[in-house]
Amino acid sequence: MSEADKSYELEILKIIVNKHLDESTLFNKKNINESETKRDQFVWDTATKIYQQSGHKVELSLVRDIVDSRIRAIKNQLAEEARYITEQKAQQASEEARRIADAEKAHNITESDPQFLSKVTDSLGKFGGDERKAKVFVRVREVISEQLSVEEREVSLDSHLSNHLNADGCDLIELVMALEKEFGIEIPDEVAEDSLGIGINNIFSGGSWWGSSSSSPSSFSYNAGEQCIVRNFVELICKKLK
């Protein structure tokens, strides 16, 4: 047999063996460990099938090498997937840590400002001298003032975001997002509804009522219940920061 014929025969055998590998339930990511323990039996069964179908006596070592190559390829794929997942988790953790650090940095800068401290002092009486709540209130008031374009003096603990400060549905969504960023916290939609009285009925492509940065509401209606007052925002944020 010429070298060309031997090479052709070898390629045909590889195709046949790989066909058997594709049809087997062993050689996939789910069953890779089991495939290693049953490799030799598979090699024998495959060589036997080839002989029964064609009368060709294929070398067992050839089948073994092809099987081992498939196992290595699957293991490499699994390792690459695991590496990718690990990198993604590390990146997410890093981004979260950076977000929290940025929020803390902004928080520290804000709270060292004399004007901020003066506002806190003026607000202490509203919280029985609780400086922590007073600081949260001052920051919440500043965010509300900026988001709703109202004067800070118009924002009191009992101000209703909709009835008194004229916040509409978009305003409420943007306000919650701004407070999350300001304090480095998350306020899930069910918490916003239960604790803040913000009920949003809308159609989002993503499902969450404030969705992702790539999603926007196509339509919505909202109601701001009686809990939707500044005091409840302050109380909720204080709980989140504990």
Domain harbouring 141, CATH code: 1.10.1200.10
Bridge-partner residues for 224, per DSSP?
198
* Structural domain boundaries enclosing 67: 3-86
Q: Are residues 53 and 117 in the same domain?
A: no
Q: Are residues 81 and 173 in the same domain?
A: no
Q: Are residues 117 and 81 in the same domain?
A: no
Left, alpha or beta for 155 (phi > 0: left; psi -120 to 50: alpha)? beta
Kindly state whether residue 55 falls inside one of the protein's structural domains. Answer: yes
State how many domains the chain has. Answer: 2
- Sign of the CA dihedral running 6, 11, 12, 14: positive
The model carries a pTM of 0.52
Kindly state whether residue 92 falls inside one of the protein's structural domains. Answer: no
Q: Are residues 125 and 206 in the same domain?
A: yes
Q: Are residues 227 and 120 in the same domain?
A: yes
Q: Are residues 72 and 143 in the same domain?
A: no
Kindly state whether residue 211 falls inside one of the protein's structural domains. Answer: yes
Kindly state whether residue 104 falls inside one of the protein's structural domains. Answer: no
Q: What is the pLDDT of residue 205?
A: 35
Kindly state whether residue 100 falls inside one of the protein's structural domains. Answer: no
Q: Are residues 218 and 151 in the same domain?
A: yes
> Which residue ranges of the chain lie beneath pLDDT 50?
202-220
